[in-house]
A and B are shown apart, each in its own frame.
Chain A
């Protein structure tokens, strides 16, 4: 009996004195508290395009549902879903990029920047992270305007739980400074994360040129609102050395493994094992875009577009009318009354292993042409234009095309640079081609930003009942509804920028 009591006492007996292993008990055995910076760099790079489990979450909402539709590259009769066709609002669709970027890419990039700052040998990882952060913030500010930047993603580092919304003007100034500093700091003699670099495989010079081309992009964006700053930075970018070929195009590489982790987010949305929006007839190429391709004899048409049958014959391609809902479509004469009969992205456009482009050599050259034309950069505008146009044709080979130099020359001949034309005519030529190229590579968000600044190509908006813009193409998307009531700083942003509406223009989009 006593032995039994003694036994029970032994079981419990060490009470109070056995808290010393508490600290080891409270260490998570399944999650490391530090990891190699290369791992973080690779994941952060993927994060600027989307997130593992559903890689297409934000690209579907922001790139397809809004940008592709607003830019009339694409269209859909499901106007209650693909709201960019008719300019209507739905909270999670409008706020997708905002709601996903901060807790994923921004959070991890900011952390990576702080970790790599502490180790001089990691200057390349630091610089790449800074450039990636500029890219992500660039999308955010171009889509929403004033956004959290300087304090964003820092909660665990500084305890900032309600980041302030920085004015876009200030964001632009800082992004350009970041690109300059990061470009300077990149060093071929420091450690190079060749495997973790999912963009250039460790080619430091390509990173430097890409940083400069991005600098040109953001410089040109300021053209309407601050021509002097635009000129300064455009010149600086050109002087430092822009991308020189399509091999310099900045894109995140993916692999066709079937897994969300490895998949190009745009492809994931379109392919049947992912979101399947093409095979389910949810979206089609827009009439505006297909007609333009046909009119310009664009050889990319035969690469990007196919009928439901798989037929890619360019002449047979037909774009879905813009702003047309199911009822309006049904009223058309057969076979135009069925969305199954319209062109949609060809399967090669949604290979999961396609590279997702952030900025191409094409864009770089086209923007350079404009900068030359404006007298900000030295050179020949026509040469830059020609390079850009031809590069755009060859670049589609990244998405399964087999276009040749001859195809590019033919296309250029059909769409020559209006050397003797007015500035407007030149802008029209440059930025229409910009729109053609970004559409073919599914860079609809960038196309929209460039269109808002330049107004080219001239797009005819639709005035669908119930739209939120009085029949105008939106100038921005609305913030996350979730910020209201949680982050008091949003109020200052709205007060500074204007009402949180589609029609409010961002800083650089001066009327």
Chain B
């Protein structure tokens, strides 16, 4: 190795020493844009040679050339210009900015900028400013409806929640299905740190939520392996490349200030199908004692306004309370302020920014505070060595993340369950007993008082995160460079939660802490070659290697059954009541990669890439795999003469394979030591997933073809893609029968197909001097199909609702993530079969459809009149399904209008008896509803289709004339709104986007945080 290095040094030295030239004429000058701003980094090449230079940050250059030479000035986004030197010794050049599609440049895999026309795959770009006006706490949610084929699902989990991003469908049964998130060339951790499940819990956020939209220059969405193949195993689900803003040359230090304030309120303020005819109680009776009043049922008597005893012994009117949601939930708010400084010196440009986000949820005591600090420094050290570096420091503090799904500690669950005649004012008035224990308001000790739940069931977490990159680049010649990249993402995370002392189902309470330290380091070394081999043929080659190291330390401390009341510390319980555990999880991937792009005459491009990954998580012999890709792009409009209406037409196609491995330590069985009992140490098998020593990497193969065209003077743009994606050898953590002893088993057998189309249409409907109207429509349709699971296994279960009547399953032959549940037992004609006592019988398990909407679309209109702009975005998803646990429980509790039938005098269920005769047995409506809710899912499965008015922005830029003498370079103000209206939905009481986690199991709902709308104002100043 050492010797190789020496040779390499010698090689580099020899290059350097050969690069001196005869001096004929000294030419110098300045390159500016048409508005006079200097342009940094303009390529200046002596035509017909390899000789050249670049401008510095002031736009200045100097070069020695032969007399009579011609200089070519080129820069991304500007039309190239040729100037004959003649006898001039000073040549100043102004370049014209160019919107021409032929010159569009995008960031591609590994952070390499490429001309868009050369790509054989679809890439979508989003500019930073599209994320900063109408903001979301988790930046990823702002992408919804804006990119064709990007399926964003934000769980109903509050201000600090996670989000789920899926591109071109779910490719893995149980593995990760979210794209790789890359910030300035460095993959960052996007793990969800905790999710709600069947038994409750809270959403502890993800990694992308750390990012500050103010820092973002642009986002490239690489839709699948064809675009992301150079990332190898981590690219099978595509990648989202975030490029942050760098410094800019300019006069002195530039300052940008942005302030944003939004208020947040419930989108659905009243339960839409709750009944307000009957009140709290059972069997049609008003409560007459405190014990009878302890109920979450609304199966009582007709509301008559009489004074009736309630849970706290006080009597209150027995009348309808319709405003519990409005009265309990508060007005939320989010303040975001940021300051950025930019500047430059001779050789260095820099940008420093700070940001403060302070968000208060609609749920009392719940909120998020985030501070981002970022420093980007780019520079040139001498003529050939340049570097890019940036570091981000992020502090995220979340307070009282709401508990979701099952009832314990959940305010929302309680609000949803409250009887029609019980007011939150009563619950606010009577929260605790004289001992300061929680006073329950129902006979179910697992349902909390919502005020007590939100104030006393405390949790908080803090994440300190550093993301940094250092990227030196050495141009050996103008066509050969060597580049290194060292990046890391490290966070320290501490979560603590309290089960309050005196909450009835756990009277002595509890306390728990979770500490995590995560570090991922990526080191890359690349050698790049980019040269015109002849007038028409170009070759661009990249070779490189990467080592990825991940270390995760996860430790937990907890104590149950506290000794001293209301004192929360790990020490406050008997030692045997304390839990402690530590996990050290390490993972490594080594990779070698390369790509080669041939171009012909500026209209034909062929690219091939390959990456070999070696995984530490798989057994040697099974741990190496090569991921290839090929792609081609043909700019037809450049190659042949097309009708004049067609300004641009590109055809493209590509094919790629990517893949993935498994989590560490999945290859063999482990034990855990679980303390001691009466002097005997205890141990048990800790693995709940059957290990598999012979696992191999999975393979995801993607093919895509498409075209990109601009028509009618570039007023109409259409980008269309068709793709197929097939995952084979999927590592499936399949749910297996619990009677096997294990919850799941790892197999290397899954096969899933995804096929789909993506369409983006841009149309400039009107272009007058002062008025423009632009429309943009995007849609993605993805059809998924689970082809095989394991042997003859037809279905695997991924999740289950707390009602225990509905599940999420992957079923062979059907789309991914089926909402499955028990149907009524039915006769051949479809009639509901009742038992001899008049109750409906449970039928078979039925697949109601996928929980993942196959069709996503967004439709944006923007109008601009002089300095005023108005844009609004409508988006929707279609074809998905949702099982609502909330509505199932509401039905069981007699809360919904469907429960009104037969309240007085009983109810004869429509249908037949087991003999096939019409059912004639009369039963109580309460018992009937209870039987259905406990056994049958069908009435609570909905289509999750929706159309939403997602976003409105009205902005006004103060004209530069007005700003004239003020210190401001620019100033703009906008009025922003998000999630303003649900234009169409099928789910009573709920936003159809209300799943309780961001896992692979989509389609279950229970007691999510209510959907909110935000309205506010954004102010941006530059000076």
> What's the minimum C-beta distance from A505 to chain B, rounded to whole angstroms?
17
Considering the complex, which residues of chain A in the window 1-22 have a beta carbon less than 8 Å from any beta carbon of chain B? Answer: 1-2, 4-6, 8-16, 18-19, 22
Q: Cβ of A161 and Cβ of B5 under 8 Å apart?
A: no
Q: Which of A22, A92, A110: most chain B CB closer than 10 A?
A: A22
Q: Cβ of A89 and Cβ of B935 under 8 Å apart?
A: yes
Q: Cβ of B682 and Cβ of A26 under 8 Å apart?
A: no
Residues of B within 8 A of A295 (CB): none
Distance between Cα atoms of A80 and B281 in the complex (Å): 13
Q: Which of B545, B665, B668, B734: most chain A CB closer than 10 A?
A: B665
Q: Is the interface of A mostly helix, strand, loop or mixed?
A: loop
Residue of B nearest to A483 (CB): B737
Q: Is A413 at the interface (CB under 8 A from chain B)?
A: no
Q: Cβ of A161 and Cβ of B930 under 8 Å apart?
A: no
Which of A217-225, A322-330, A367-375 forms part of the interface with chain B? A322-330
Q: Is A29 at the interface (CB under 8 A from chain B)?
A: yes
The one of B577, B619, B685 that contacts A260, using a Cβ cutoff of 8 Å: B577
Known: A32-B671, A148-B737. A38 touches B681 (CB 8 A): yes
Residues of A within 8 A of B385 (CB): 1, 4
The one of A14, A104, A327, A485 that contacts B283, using a Cβ cutoff of 8 Å: A327
Residues of B within 8 A of A486 (CB): 735-737, 795-797
The one of A255, A259, A468, A487 that contacts B739, using a Cβ cutoff of 8 Å: A487
Q: Cβ of A31 and Cβ of B736 under 8 Å apart?
A: no
Which of A40-48, A66-74, A174-182, A453-461 forms part of the interface with chain B? A40-48
Residue of A nearest to B743 (CB): A103
Q: Cβ of A32 and Cβ of B670 under 8 Å apart?
A: yes
Q: Cβ of B1 and Cβ of A13 under 8 Å apart?
A: yes
Known: A2-B13, A89-B934, A260-B560. A110 touches B741 (CB 8 A): yes
Q: Cβ of A42 and Cβ of B12 under 8 Å apart?
A: no
Q: Cβ of A28 and Cβ of B665 under 8 Å apart?
A: yes
Residues of B within 8 A of A162 (CB): 736-737, 740, 793
Which of B37-45, B222-230, B287-295, B359-367 forms part of the interface with chain A? B287-295
Interface string of A120-150 (1 = CB under 8 A from B): 0000000000000000000000000001100
Distance between Cα atoms of A39 and B578 in the complex (Å): 20
Residues of B within 8 A of A34 (CB): 671
Known: A257-B577, A279-B507, A482-B800. A42 touches B680 (CB 8 A): yes
Q: Is B586 at the interface (CB under 8 A from chain A)?
A: yes
Q: Cβ of A111 and Cβ of B673 under 8 Å apart?
A: no
Residues of B within 8 A of A467 (CB): 837
Q: Is A241 at the interface (CB under 8 A from chain B)?
A: no
Q: Cβ of B582 and Cβ of A258 under 8 Å apart?
A: no
Residue of A nearest to B508 (CB): A273
The one of A15, A30, A90 that contacts B547, using a Cβ cutoff of 8 Å: A15
Q: Is B8 at the interface (CB under 8 A from chain A)?
A: yes
Q: Cβ of A26 and Cβ of B670 under 8 Å apart?
A: no
The one of B288, B670, B739, B804 that contacts A148, using a Cβ cutoff of 8 Å: B739
Which of A152-160, A227-235, A283-291 forms part of the interface with chain B? A152-160
Q: Is A465 at the interface (CB under 8 A from chain B)?
A: yes
Considering the complex, which residues of chain B in the window 659-713 have a beta carbon less than 8 Å from any beta carbon of chain A? Answer: 664-665, 667-675, 677-688, 690-691
Residues of A within 8 A of B736 (CB): 155, 161-162, 486-487
Known: A12-B484, A147-B739. A337 touches B289 (CB 8 A): yes
Residue of A nearest to B837 (CB): A470
The one of A30, A44, A110, A326 that contacts B291, using a Cβ cutoff of 8 Å: A326
Q: Cβ of A261 and Cβ of B674 under 8 Å apart?
A: yes
Residues of B within 8 A of A35 (CB): 671, 673, 683
Residues of B within 8 A of A89 (CB): 934-935
The A-B contact count (CB < 8 A) is 339
Which of B18-26, B64-72, B454-462, B587-595 forms part of the interface with chain A? B587-595
Distance between Cα atoms of A90 and B932 in the complex (Å): 11
Considering the complex, which residues of chain A in the window 250-265 have a beta carbon less than 8 Å from any beta carbon of chain B? Answer: 253-255, 257-262
Known: A32-B671, A91-B934, A326-B294. A161 touches B924 (CB 8 A): no
Q: Cβ of B678 and Cβ of A255 under 8 Å apart?
A: yes
Count contacts on A: residues with CB < 8 A to the other chain: 114
> What's the minimum C-beta distance from B866 to chain A, rounded to whole angstroms?
52
Distance between Cα atoms of A43 and B545 in the complex (Å): 48
Q: Cβ of A31 and Cβ of B690 under 8 Å apart?
A: no
Q: Is A407 at the interface (CB under 8 A from chain B)?
A: no
Residues of B within 8 A of A58 (CB): none
> What's the minimum C-beta distance from A493 to chain B, rounded to whole angstroms?
11
Residue of A nearest to B587 (CB): A25
Q: Cβ of B576 and Cβ of A330 under 8 Å apart?
A: no
Distance between Cα atoms of A124 and B465 in the complex (Å): 54
Known: A5-B482, A8-B525, A280-B504. A46 touches B682 (CB 8 A): yes
Q: Cβ of B671 and Cβ of A31 under 8 Å apart?
A: yes
Q: Cβ of B741 and Cβ of A102 under 8 Å apart?
A: yes
Residues of B within 8 A of A275 (CB): 505
Distance between Cα atoms of A213 and B34 in the complex (Å): 99
Q: Is B382 at the interface (CB under 8 A from chain A)?
A: yes
Distance between Cα atoms of A47 and B684 in the complex (Å): 10
> What's the minimum C-beta distance from A138 to chain B, rounded to whole angstroms?
16
Q: Cβ of A22 and Cβ of B671 under 8 Å apart?
A: no
Known: A261-B576, A486-B795. A466 touches B930 (CB 8 A): yes
Q: Which of B674, B741, B793: most chain A CB closer than 10 A?
A: B741
Q: Cβ of A19 and Cβ of B507 under 8 Å apart?
A: no
Q: Cβ of B616 and Cβ of A273 under 8 Å apart?
A: no
Known: A78-B443, A102-B738, A103-B688. A26 touches B291 (CB 8 A): no
Given contacts A466-B927, A480-B738, 6 further A-B contacts (CB under 8 A): A13-B5, A31-B671, A39-B673, A103-B741, A195-B678, A482-B807
Hey, which bits of chain A sit against chain B, CB under 8 A?
1-2, 4-6, 8-16, 18-19, 22-23, 25-36, 38-40, 42-44, 46-47, 52, 77-78, 80-81, 88-92, 98-99, 102-104, 106-108, 110-111, 147-148, 151-156, 159-163, 195-196, 198, 253-255, 257-262, 272-276, 279-280, 282, 325-327, 329-330, 337-339, 465-468, 470, 480-489
Instruction: Report, nearest first, the 6 A-B pairs whose CB atoms are least far apart.
Output: A466-B927, A107-B741, A91-B804, A487-B737, A39-B683, A259-B576
Hey, which bits of chain B sit against chain A, CB under 8 A?
1, 5, 8-9, 12-13, 281-283, 285, 287-289, 291-292, 294-295, 297, 381-382, 385, 443-445, 472, 474, 482, 484, 486, 504-508, 523-525, 545-547, 560-561, 573-578, 581-584, 586-588, 590-592, 614-617, 619-620, 623, 664-665, 667-675, 677-688, 690-691, 734-743, 745, 790, 793-797, 800, 804-805, 807, 809, 820, 822, 836-837, 839, 845, 923-924, 926-928, 930-931, 934-935
